Amino acid sequence: MSINPVRWQDIGFDGSPYYVHPISPDPDGNGMFVGRDAELARLKSQLRNTTLHPCIEGESGVGKTSLVAVAGYQLQKEFVRGVEVAPFALVRNPFQLTPETTSREFTSSVIRELAHAFNDHRHRIDSQRNPFPSVGELEAWVSRPVQSDDFQSVVRSWLSRAFPSNLGGGFICVLDNLELVRTSARARQVLEEMRDDALALPGVRWVLCGAKGVVEHGTSSSRLEGRLATPMKLRPLGMEKMPLLINRRISVFRRSTDAIAPVQEEGFSFLYKRLGHNLRAALNYAENFSVEMLVRNQVFADREKMFKLLKVWVGGQAREKIDVLSGHVSEGHWAILREAKRLEPERIYANMYLSFGFATAAKFRQYLRDLEAAALVTRASHEGDQRYNAYTITPKGALCLHELPGGAALD
Ligand SMILES: Nc1ncnc2c1ncn2[C@@H]1O[C@H](COP(=O)(O)OP(=O)(O)OP(=O)(O)O)[C@@H](O)[C@H]1O
Ligand SMILES: [Mg+2]
């Protein structure tokens, strides 16, 4: 028997309103972006009024990449409308580093992207006031090898010509997921190497984003002073923003006014809370639930019924995860998570072993490592000094904890 799963289009949507990718720098993305007024204003102001490269620190899935995309999009738009005097242009693909990336390789890849960015943005930026290279000039260079030193100096000269003043706008480039270099010590080392290279390119405004304390600690170097702004900490959006957030998404993707979204305000707020206020996880679960309901042909107009189905499904998901972990995670491990829920902030350090009922730090650390291996907590590295590693509960940890006996009482 062949099953023909129902598609989003069959229930009146252009696609999934719960897609988990960062918000894109376009009108739809701008429309779906909710809250963050203060952070948006601060980021745009840093880009307009200082020559420092802004830095954003925040947990995975909190909305860092989306914030930069929307800030870049708005600055671009405002320039076109004449509200913003300096021409800003967002380089679409974020850059990333790995522990092995060298400053030289990194600069080469940036130069190549910038040559494309000149091409992408030439139609928007007034070539009289900001002379951009001609199409012929661009085509001649873009096909050349990356390593060519001439190519680098040509792109540098284009940058200086197009953005002659330090506060005269520039290409906004995102150095994203800085935690991929693993330790803040390595992040600091690479950034120091980049200081007089990629971070000093004329007309390039970097925004550095990362999780797990890497931005916060990696940027605190006296050599980087005067180059990087004090990191902005992005906290999870408040619960009160969830109804608007999900309704905006539903309205962007809905084709007909009577289309029914499987997860609505109450369902999405429930998921966000149950998953420890992690936006990406809440969207991910909403999407998985929806697909399941689409396949089962169980998308009903009755909102209460859908919400009940969601709660049952979430409980099942949590129990499945707990079962899988049963061989590796004991009651003692769960007790640590339960205790951590009572902390404000919910952050565990290895030197708290006595208050968690452990006789030695070594034993406590072993338990924390087990929890990390089970993806129930995540660790923010602090210079390899284990005493200062902060562990936080993951969305999976929050979900499982709630399902275990006494979990509901922790809310
Ligand atoms: N202010 C917002 N309004 C609406 N949706 C948002 C907002 N911020 C983020 N999102 C959505 O939340 C999800 C996570 O956002 P994003 O990818 O920007 O997070 P991140 O902090 O960059 O995560 P990571 O550390 O994993 O890279 C995405 O699906 C994005 O569309
Ligand atoms: Mg991101």
Give the C-alpha separation, 402 to 411, whole Å. 8
Ligand found nearest the CA of 21: 1
Cα–ligand 1 centroid distance for 281 (angstroms): 10
Residue 2 has pLDDT above 70, yes or no: no
pLDDT at 37: 96
Q: What is the DSSP string of 172-239?
A: EEEE--GGGG-SHHHHHHHHHHHTTTGGG-TTEEEEEEESTTHHHHHT--GGGTTTBPPPEEPPPPPG
pLDDT at 1: 43
Does ligand 1 have an atom closer than 6 angstroms to the CB of 88?
A: no
> Measuring from atom 28 of ligand 1, which residue has the nearest CA?
22
Q: Domain 36-233 class?
A: alpha beta
For the chain, the domains span 8-18+238-325, 36-233, 331-410
Cα–ligand 1 centroid distance for 295 (angstroms): 27
Does ligand 1 have an atom closer than 6 angstroms to the CB of 284?
A: no
Ligand found nearest the CA of 66: 1
Does ligand 1 have an atom closer than 6 angstroms to the CB of 365?
A: no
Give the C-alpha separation, 234 to 131, whole Å. 37
Does ligand 1 have an atom closer than 6 angstroms to the CB of 62?
A: yes
- 297-308 burial, b at 16+ Cβ within 10 Å, e below that, comes to eebeeeeeebbe
Which helix H or strand E contains 333, and what residues bound it? helix 331-341
- What are the residues whose beta carbon lies below 5 Å from ligand 2 (ion)? 65
pLDDT at 218: 78
Does ligand 1 have an atom closer than 6 angstroms to the CB of 68?
A: no
3-class SS of residue 387: helix
Q: Best of 20, 23, 73 to mutate for ligand 1, by most ligand atoms within 8 A of CB?
A: 23
Does ligand 1 have an atom closer than 6 angstroms to the CB of 177?
A: yes
pLDDT at 269: 98
Does ligand 1 have an atom closer than 6 angstroms to the CB of 61?
A: yes
| Amino acid identity for residue 242 in this structure | M
Residue 130 has pLDDT above 60, yes or no: yes
Residue 298 has pLDDT above 70, yes or no: yes
Ligand 1 atom nearest residue 69's Cα: 18
pTM exceeding 0.75: yes
* Least confident among 20-24, 340-344, 399-403: 340-344
No. of H helices and E strands in the chain? Answer: 15, 8
Does ligand 1 have an atom closer than 6 angstroms to the CB of 58?
A: yes
Residue 185 pLDDT class (50, 70, 90 cuts): confident
Which residues, 6+ apart, have CB-to-CB distance to 214 below 8 Å? 57, 178, 179, 181, 183, 184, 187, 380, 381
Token pair listed for 143 = 């096909």
Ligand found nearest the CA of 280: 1
Cα–ligand 1 centroid distance for 278 (angstroms): 9
pLDDT at 101: 87
Domain 331-410 annotated CATH 1.10.1740.10: no
Residue 111 pLDDT class (50, 70, 90 cuts): very high
